């Protein structure tokens, strides 16, 4: 099943008088990037948490926020006294030099970063087990969200590939008419340039055959059809991480469509080529959001 790179998962569990909240959000990214926001006393567990996330996230920019709060609101805090004194001293000096009234500077200083910080506690192994359980629950919801979004992407891309194949089939009826028009145009050009009586019919036929070989589109049609089938095959397999492979296949599809357009020499065929390009661009947008 295809997964979207956009995901969200949130879980809350309780431990003693505390509430453990884990929230995961992910956005598009070519690489896997996990950014953690965790309590200070859990810093030693940072790599372990990242490893757990990476095993499930696979691809995308993932923001992980872990909060542990006392249910009663009786969290422990500590005042960074040296930093507080430094702010007071510098603000007073600046106020004196610029003749600015101090007003209530203490509440303002307390709101500055790192002046008031959560109190550090020793890591409790039982609490850590609850945190791990909450992370896993949030990850399960995160993965379910991604799979649900991925199913929508998969259905959309399947429809668009089928549309490309349908346009490819519509090209064939215009091919015979294209050749007739090319022959007539070449003959008119020769007659205008050399005169009707001076045209060598045998040489003309040779040149026409040589030219038609150069603009033959059968190989491109076959390859494009094969690429579309391969895209659908990869889209429907059981692997989860297939966004990169689908991206590579879509690039190959684009090359064949472009070559068809450059060899078309037919407004009717060009219309189908434009339709295929439009569908492919939308497929590429969806692939860019796939794991």
Residue 68 lies in a domain: yes
Do residues 13 and 72 both lie within one domain? Answer: yes
pTM of the model: 0.72
Confidence at residue 216, expressed as pLDDT on a 0 to 100 scale: 84
**Containing structural domain, residue 101:** 77-110
Do residues 72 and 131 both lie within one domain? Answer: yes
pLDDT level of residue 32 (50, 70, 90 thresholds): confident
Do residues 41 and 62 both lie within one domain? Answer: yes
The answer to whether residue 188 scores a pLDDT higher than 80 is no
Q: Provide mean pLDDT across the span 233-251.
A: 88
Do residues 39 and 101 both lie within one domain? Answer: no
Q: Provide mean pLDDT across the span 116-126.
A: 70
Q: What six digits make up the tokens of 57?
A: 């996230």
Residue 197 lies in a domain: no
Per-residue model confidence as pLDDT tens digits over 90-111: 888 877 777 777 777 778 877 7
* Range name among 112-126, 195-209, 229-243 with the lowest pLDDT average: 195-209
Residue 1 lies in a domain: no
Do residues 67 and 141 both lie within one domain? Answer: yes
pLDDT level of residue 207 (50, 70, 90 thresholds): low
pLDDT level of residue 25 (50, 70, 90 thresholds): very high
Residue 21 lies in a domain: yes
Do residues 17 and 98 both lie within one domain? Answer: no
The answer to whether residue 122 scores a pLDDT higher than 80 is no
Residue 54 lies in a domain: yes
Q: Provide mean pLDDT across the span 29-45.
A: 88
Do residues 130 and 48 both lie within one domain? Answer: yes
The answer to whether residue 203 scores a pLDDT higher than 80 is no
Residue 224 lies in a domain: no
* Range name among 9-18, 81-90, 166-175 with the lowest pLDDT average: 81-90
Do residues 21 and 70 both lie within one domain? Answer: yes
Residue 57 lies in a domain: yes
pLDDT level of residue 204 (50, 70, 90 thresholds): low
Q: What is the 3-state secondary structure (H, E, C) of the chain?
A: CCCECCEEEEEEEEECCEEEEEEEEEECCCCEEEEEECCHHHHHHHHHHHHHHHHHHCCEEEEEEEEEEECCCCCCEEECHHHHHHHHHHHHHHHHHHCCCCCCHHHHHHCCCCCEEECCCCCCHHHHHHHHHHHHHHHHHHHHHHHHHHHHHHHHHHHHHHHHHHHHHHHHHHHHHHHHHHHHHHHHHHHHHHCHHHCCHHHHHHHHHHHHHHCCCHHHHHHHHHHHHHHHHHHHCCCCCCHHHHHHHHHHHHHHHHHHHHHCCCHHHHHHHHHHHHHHHHHHHHHCCEC
Q: What is the CATH number of the domain that holds 140?
A: 3.30.230
Do residues 37 and 132 both lie within one domain? Answer: yes
Per-residue model confidence as pLDDT tens digits over 39-86: 888 889 999 999 999 988 888 899 999 998 877 655 556 677 888 888
**Based on the structure, what is the number of domains in the chain?**
2
Confidence at residue 115, expressed as pLDDT on a 0 to 100 scale: 75
Residue 25 lies in a domain: yes
Do residues 11 and 103 both lie within one domain? Answer: no
Do residues 23 and 100 both lie within one domain? Answer: no
Do residues 86 and 138 both lie within one domain? Answer: no
Place of tokens 């192994």: 125
pLDDT level of residue 240 (50, 70, 90 thresholds): low
């Amino acid at each position: 099943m295809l997964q979207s790179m956009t995901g969200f998962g949130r879980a809350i569990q309780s431990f003693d008088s505390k509430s453990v909240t884990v929230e995961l959000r992910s956005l598009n990214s070519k690489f896997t990037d996990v950014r953690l926001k965790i309590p200070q006393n859990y810093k030693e567990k940072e790599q372990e948490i990242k490893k757990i996330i990476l095993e499930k996230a696979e691809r995308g920019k993932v923001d992980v926020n872990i909060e542990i709060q006392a249910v009663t609101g009786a969290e422990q805090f500590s005042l960074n006294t040296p930093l507080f004194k430094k702010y007071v001293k510098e603000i007073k000096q600046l106020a004196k030099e610029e003749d600015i009234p101090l007003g209530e500077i203490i509440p303002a200083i307390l709101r500055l970063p790192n002046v008031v910080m959560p109190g550090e506690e020793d890591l409790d192994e039982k609490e850590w087990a609850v945190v791990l359980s909450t992370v896993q629950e949030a990850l399960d919801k995160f993965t379910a969200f991604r799979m649900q979004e991925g199913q929508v992407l998969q259905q959309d891309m399947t429809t668009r590939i089928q549309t490309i194949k349908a346009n490819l089939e519509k090209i064939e009826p215009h091919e015979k008419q294209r050749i007739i028009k090319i022959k007539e145009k070449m003959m008119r050009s020769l007659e205008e340039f050399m005169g009707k009586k001076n045209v060598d019919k045998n040489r003309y036929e040779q040149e026409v055959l040589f030219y038609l070989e150069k603009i033959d589109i059968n190989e491109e049609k076959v390859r494009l059809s094969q690429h579309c089938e391969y895209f659908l095959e990869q889209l429907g397999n059981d692997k989860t991480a297939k966004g990169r492979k689908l991206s590579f296949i879509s690039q190959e599809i684009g090359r064949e469509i472009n070559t068809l357009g450059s060899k078309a020499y037919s407004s009717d065929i060009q219309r189908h080529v434009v339709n295929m390009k439009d569908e492919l661009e939308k497929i590429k947008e969806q692939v860019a959001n796939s794991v």
